[in-house]
Amino acid sequence: MKSSKEKATDVTPDNFAFVSLGNGGDVDFGEVIVGLRQTPKVVSPKFFYDARGSELFNAICTTEAYYPTRTERGIYESQADAIAAEIGPGTTVIEFGPGDMSKIRLLLDQLRPQTYVGVDVSAAQLEDAGPPLAADYPWLHVLAVCGDFGPSRMLEKYLDGQSRRVAFFPGSTIGNFEPDAARQFLQGLGKMLGSSGCAIVGVDLQKPVEVLEAAYNDPQGYTRAFNLNLLTRLNRELGADFDERRFRHKAYYNEKLGRVEMHLVSVVEQQVRVGEHTFSFQPGETIHTENSWKYTQQAFGELAARAGFAVQKFFTDERNWFGVFILSVQ
Ligand code: SAH
Ligand code: AVI
């Protein structure tokens, strides 16, 4: 006897569709070369999420050290009714970077949207998570969109013009943008949502440095493996010859800027080839792979206001570690 989850993946449900925008899914060679030519060297965190990277991210989320996942989930579990009351039923929910689509599940029974659209660069995650979601919620239209959720109007043709649009951006993925890029993203989002639109945005909040640094240095080593997997991916997809043993994971809280930084540090002097390009590394030189900005309630509210949103409601946990903002287009 199969479990309902196994059954769900056997046949693609009628209420599920998958489309590709053609602007994500693979590593962009040109973007990587431009980043590695900079000082300090940089590679975008959006390239973390190949099948292995997504698997490692999901493993990070299960650790005790990585508090954001369970804290945000706790807010949805306890506040789903209150969140739904702010939004109302029959909407089109568009989730940015849904990953395993587990967070939207915590809201669907209360939110009762008509359509769910998940936009992610990770085709593997969409293929794994989309059909079971559609099978478990047969009343919901589920559309998985493989592509970059950055500025683009390509998504528009997959959205209906009738129902109210609600953006769902959990996980503090917005914290991986620089604050000005986050503002620009929200500004573009406001246009896409239209004047009746609103957004549910999960934002990690500032807290003691020890808690932040532990979250990005889990004792299981998943974050280290997640960071180093980027090099494995560049080797496979771009024909690079990084030796993962010659780099180490480094993550720390930059208190002055209010962000956790992740880097890959070269442990020796070395040269690395990426396609026909060669890059030199001094010992201790880093590739900057991710920023994870941590906000105060006030600072994020002000950023959203500069992007044309009003904070309709704010939810948090008892330690004030994570914030869920309900934003409405002004
Ligand atoms: N929302 C989930 C997953 C967060 S991890 C959670 O809260 O746990 C970030 C997710 O965003 C990953 O699934 C990754 O593949 C996706 N992602 C990152 N950058 C992206 C981009 N530029 N465009 C589309 N998806 C992106
Ligand atoms: C997806 N994003 C918000 C995560 C974060 O915390 O910045 C990705 C991550 N990086 C290391 N651990 C988790």
| Residue whose CA lies nearest to ligand 2 atom number 4 | 173
Q: Which ligand is nearest to the CA of 21?
A: 1
For ligand 2, say whether the CB of 63 is within 6 Å of any of its atoms.
no
Buried b (16+ CB within 10 A) or exposed e, 253-271: beeeebbbbbbbebeeebe
Distance 301 CA to ligand 2 centre (A): 21
Instruction: Name the 3-class secondary structure at 243.
Output: coil
For ligand 2, say whether the CB of 60 is within 6 Å of any of its atoms.
yes
Cβ atoms of 76 and 317 within 8 Å: the answer is no
For ligand 2, say whether the CB of 175 is within 6 Å of any of its atoms.
yes
pTM: 0.95
- What pLDDT score does 151 carry? 66
Residue 172 alpha carbon, nearest atom of ligand 2:
3
For ligand 1, say whether the CB of 308 is within 6 Å of any of its atoms.
no
Segments of the chain with pLDDT less than 70: 1-10, 151-152
Token pair of 30 as six digits: 């040109």
For ligand 2, say whether the CB of 190 is within 6 Å of any of its atoms.
no
Token pair of 15 as six digits: 């209420």
Tens-place pLDDT, residues 188-207: 999 999 999 999 999 999 99
Distance 104 CA to ligand 2 centre (A): 18
Token pair of 8 as six digits: 């769900």
Q: Which ligand is nearest to the CA of 213?
A: 2
Output phi, psi for 257, to 5 deg: -90, -20
Q: State the distance between the two ends of the chain, measured CA to CA, in whole angstroms.
A: 52
Tell me what percent of the residues of the chain surpass a pLDDT of 70.
96
- What pLDDT score does 279 carry? 98
For ligand 2, say whether the CB of 171 is within 6 Å of any of its atoms.
yes
Residue 58 alpha carbon, nearest atom of ligand 1:
8
For ligand 2, say whether the CB of 101 is within 6 Å of any of its atoms.
no
- What pLDDT score does 5 carry? 45
CA–CA distance, 311 with 274 (Å, rounded to integer): 45
- What pLDDT score does 66 carry? 98
